[in-house]
Structure formats: C-alpha cells, structure tokens
C-alpha cells in the first residue's frame, strides 16, 4: 500500500486552495546528515516535503505558485550525474520529477539562486516554515534582497512572510482512507514485532537482544527503519521514559517495558507493552499493571468524535490516581492528590499524542485557547503509565523500580474509534498464556 501520485497532487492543490492570492510556498527537502568521518545517517525525507511530493531524494526544493500560467508546481532537484549515480544510486533529475511525479516544471538545484528570484518578483507573500532550516532562511533573505535591489527596474518584492506550518499541520492531522490503510498496516507490523519479543523473552537475555528481534521483524516486513529509537527497559530502566541504552541484562522477576514501532512508507506505528521477563506477573506487578490497563481502557472508551482532547487525558489521571490511593502509594483524597499533582510522582506525562508521518505528529492540541475536539480521521496514541522510582522512599520497597506503560494507536472513526494495534496482547492472562506457549 502506497500513496498514489494523484493523491500527492491533490494535497498540493488543497494547500494552494488555502493560500491567499499572489503567493508562493517554498518547501525544502531534507539533506543528508553526516554521522562520522565519511559515513552518513540513512536518509529520511522531510515529512512536509514527502507529504506533498512522494519524492525521496535530498537537496530539493518545491515551489507552489497558485494561478501561475506556466505551471503551479516547480521543483529544484539534483541533476542526473552518471558518476555520482554509480556511487550513490539513481537520481530522478529535473526531467524525472516532471515525468514521474506530476510536477509541472523541474530545474537543477544549482540554478535556484538564478531562477527563484524571478518567480518571486511581483508576488505579495511567501508561505515558508521560518526557522526550521537556517541555511534556507539565509537563502530566502538573499532572494528577497536581490529583488529589492532591482526596484528601480520595476521589480516588486514580496512584503509578507507567512508561516506555512499551520496550513500543512491541519491538513496532515486528518488522515485520508489511504493514510489510514498505511497506518493500519504499520500498526499490524509493529504489533507482530512486539509479539515476537514476548515469545522469545527469557531471563538472562540482554535488552538489545529483544530490540534486535523487533527490528528484525520490522525489516522482514519491508520497514528498514523504526519510527523512533526503540526502548527496551528491564526492571528499573522501565521507569526512564526515554531509555534507549538497551544494554542491560533482563533479570528473572523483573518486568520489561518495550516501546517500539515501525515506519512504513513514512508513516509511524507506536506501541508500548510491558510484560514479565519470566512470563509470570508478581502480585505487585499485576496490581499496578491492571491499574494502567484500566486507565487505558477508560481513555479508549472516551476516544470518539466530539470529545475534547484533554478529557481523554483527565480520564487517565482520575483512574490512576484513585488506583494509587487504593493501593496505598498515595495517601490523600482523590481531589487533593489531583489538585496538588501528587500523582505526578508516578505519572508524569500526558495520555497520548498525535500520530502520523512523525511519531509525535503535527497538529495543535488547542484551537483558539480551547482544547481541540476529536474528529474522524485523527490518529492518536493512548499510553497511560505508572513509574515507581527505585529511590522513592515514600512507598513500600515492594513497589519500587516498577515501570509500566501500555500504548496503542487509535484511529477516530465516525462511530467511535478503531485500535490499529490491537493484535498484540495486553490482558494479563493473554500475555502469560502467550509467553507460556512460546
């Protein structure tokens, strides 16, 4: 499943339809990043750029110019170069972006300083993501200054810079049927990776060995890169929210928290599961795990059109705080512990985030100062957690060092919601049965 060229073209048209007259949008591609010496990081295209083009090469710039008679889309990209293609692979070239990507006009990237100022002349405004690319910021200023230097010859420079992000962020927040299908597949691949980790886990393994099992499955299914750095935290490491060292042995009697998701054609999966290294929950682990699961279920039950984003989070706070009181980890009343923020010693993040081409995807959570209401086509994570620090002397020793998070990817539908990552078990008995049968 891939996004069709027609849909990329439709996205460009939708963006242009939302722009004011006499405007141009400038959208840069990502660049290769050096890792060390002569080694570069694997290339990953800028999400905005890919969303509008499907073009997966570095060093390119897309222009959208609504109403331009000679063509409303222009792309600058690397020229074909036989020698460089021998070393680094095929390039589409300006002719290729026109022939293969439905772009109206293509030019070599080396000619951008000559051609682009002529396209800016006479326009009123530039839509551009100011501050995201310092080098391109300088180039935009240079192009504007070139036009300003020709005012005596009748040139007119744009006088207004408009942030492009808001328009694109709103477009990307609501997923089309094709995007939903991709994310459904990414969720399934991610889920099967987690199942594999549960099946092979045993005491004495290293955290990185479970990471390797998950990444192997992702790659086997065509996902060469994860959507983010994989977290495999055994024991107290599960209390570190962004733990990525993954270099410690997994101990008998501990839990292991895995936060991992694949990236499929630039769309992310994002799942967290927590399970016992030896396949059996202890009494304390089971009590805290069931509490987190109850909180997640309460959140998912709320995830439907018309519900405020913050209502979902507040449901997790209410369930977790009451549960911590019932278990004796908090001692105040529900109202007092929520008002004072006492629960934050155990639950310090929000219940979820938008998900899409980026794992923490674009889109405002508030609109005009008010929490956004959920709408069909939005995809969000639901991921409450409890983390009892190993040095928390305010609780009994038997609770310390237990970190639990349960996360699923949830698509808001007309009827309610769909859990895209439901294939991986999360009920206590289901997890223990899966691990016992491996």
Neighbours of 351 (CB within 10 A): 28
Q: How far is it, in rounded angstroms, from Cα 390 to Cα 236?
A: 6
Q: Which of 217, 343, 387, 409 is catalytic?
A: 387
Task: Find, among 366, 364, 369, 340, the residue nearest to 354 by Cα.
Answer: 364
| 142 is a catalytic site residue | no
In the block, which residue shows the tokens 């991610």? 190
Pick the catalytic residue from 360, 370, 396, 427: 360
Of 84, 125, 420, give the one whose Cα is nearest residue 267: 420
Instruction: Specify whether the CB–CB gap between 270 and 424 falls below 8 A.
Output: no
270 is catalytic: yes
**Apex 310 CA angle, 308 and 183, nearest 5:** 75
Q: How far apart are CA 46 and CA 266, in angstroms?
A: 9
**Is 360 part of the annotated catalytic residue set?**
yes
User: Catalytic: which of 68, 132, 349, 400?
Assistant: 349
* Sole residue written with tokens 């490491």: 237
Angle at 49 between CA 48 and CA 54, to 5 degrees: 115
H-run or E-run covering 6: helix 5-17
Rounded Cα–Cα distance for residues 263 and 194 (Å):
14
* CA separation for the pair 268, 266 (Å, rounded): 7
How far CA 395 is from CA of 9, 38, 404, in Å, comes to: 58, 51, 16
CA 231, 233, 238, 244 dihedral sign is negative
Q: CA-CA distance, 332 to 339, in Å (whole number)?
A: 11
> Is residue 353 flagged as an active site residue?
yes
Q: Is 313 a catalytic residue?
A: no
Residue 407 is among the residues annotated as catalytic for this protein: yes
Which residue in the list 57, 358, 361, 407 is annotated as catalytic?
A: 407
145: helix, strand or coil:
helix
Confirm whether 41 is a catalytic residue: no
| Burial (CB count <10 Å: 0-12, 13-18, 19+), residue 248 | middle
Active-site residue identified among 263, 270, 409, 432: 270
Query: Among this protein's residues, is 349 annotated catalytic?
Result: yes
Of the residues 405, 408, 409, 432, which is catalytic?
Answer: 405
Alpha helix stretches (DSSP H) within 71-206: 82-88, 93-101, 112-120, 134-148, 165-173, 177-200
CB atoms within 10 A of CB 407: 22
H-type helices in 47-126, by residue range? Answer: 47-53, 82-88, 93-101, 112-120
Q: Please tell me which residue in 259, 263, 358, 432 is annotated as part of the active site.
A: 259
Spot the catalytic one: 46, 383, 408, 409: 383
**Annotated catalytic residue 68:** no
Q: Which residues contact 205 (CB under 8 A, 6 or more apart)?
A: 249, 250, 277
Q: Which helix (H) or strand (E) holds 27?
A: strand 23-28
Cβ contact 79:92 at 8 Å: no
> What are the catalytic residues?
38, 242, 259, 270, 349, 353, 360, 383, 387, 405, 407
């Amino acid at each position: 499943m891939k996004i069709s060229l027609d849909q990329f073209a439709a996205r460009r048209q939708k963006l242009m339809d939302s722009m004011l007259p006499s405007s141009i949008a400038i959208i840069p591609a990502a660049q290769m990043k050096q890792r060390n010496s002569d080694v570069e990081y694997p290339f990953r295209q800028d999400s905005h750029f890919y969303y509008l083009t499907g073009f997966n090469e570095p060093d390119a710039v897309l222009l959208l110019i609504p109403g331009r008679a000679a063509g409303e889309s222009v792309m600058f990209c690397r020229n074909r170069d036989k020698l460089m293609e021998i070393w680094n692979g095929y390039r589409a070239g300006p002719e290729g972006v026109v022939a293969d990507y439905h772009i109206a006009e293509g030019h070599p990237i080396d000619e951008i300083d000559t051609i682009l100022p002529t396209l800016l002349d006479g326009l009123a405004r530039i839509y551009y993501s100011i501050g995201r690319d310092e080098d391109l910021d300088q180039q935009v200023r240079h192009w504007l200054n070139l036009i300003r230097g020709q005012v005596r010859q009748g040139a007119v420079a744009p006088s207004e810079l408009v942030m492009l992000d808001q328009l694109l962020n709103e477009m990307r927040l609501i997923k089309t049927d094709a995007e939903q299908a991709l994310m459904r597949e990414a969720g399934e691949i991610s889920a099967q990776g987690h199942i594999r980790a549960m099946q092979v886990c045993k005491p004495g393994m290293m955290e990185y060995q479970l990471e390797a099992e998950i990444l192997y499955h992702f790659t086997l299914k065509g996902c060469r890169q994860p959507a983010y750095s994989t977290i495999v935290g055994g024991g107290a490491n599960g209390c570190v929210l962004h733990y990525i060292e993954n270099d410690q042995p997994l101990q008998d009697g501990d839990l292991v928290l895995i936060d991992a998701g694949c990236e499929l054609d630039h769309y992310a999966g994002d799942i967290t599961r927590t399970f016992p290294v030896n396949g059996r929950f202890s009494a304390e682990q089971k009590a805290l795990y069931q509490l987190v699961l109850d909180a997640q279920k309460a959140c998912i039950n709320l995830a439907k059109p018309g519900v405020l984003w913050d209502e979902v989070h507040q449901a997790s706070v209410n369930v977790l705080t009451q549960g911590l009181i019932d278990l004796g980890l908090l001692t105040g009343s529900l109202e007092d512990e929520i008002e004072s923020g006492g629960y934050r010693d155990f639950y310090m993040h929000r219940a979820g985030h938008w998900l899409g081409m980026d794992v923490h995807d674009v889109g405002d959570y508030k609109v005009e100062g008010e929490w956004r209401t959920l709408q069909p086509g939005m995809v969000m994570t639901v991921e409450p957690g409890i983390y009892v620090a190993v040095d928390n002397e305010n609780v009994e020793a038997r609770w310390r060092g237990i970190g639990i998070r349960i996360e699923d990817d949830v698509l808001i539908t007309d009827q309610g919601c769909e859990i895209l990552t439901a294939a991986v078990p999360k009920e206590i008995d289901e997890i223990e049965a899966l691990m016992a049968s491996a």
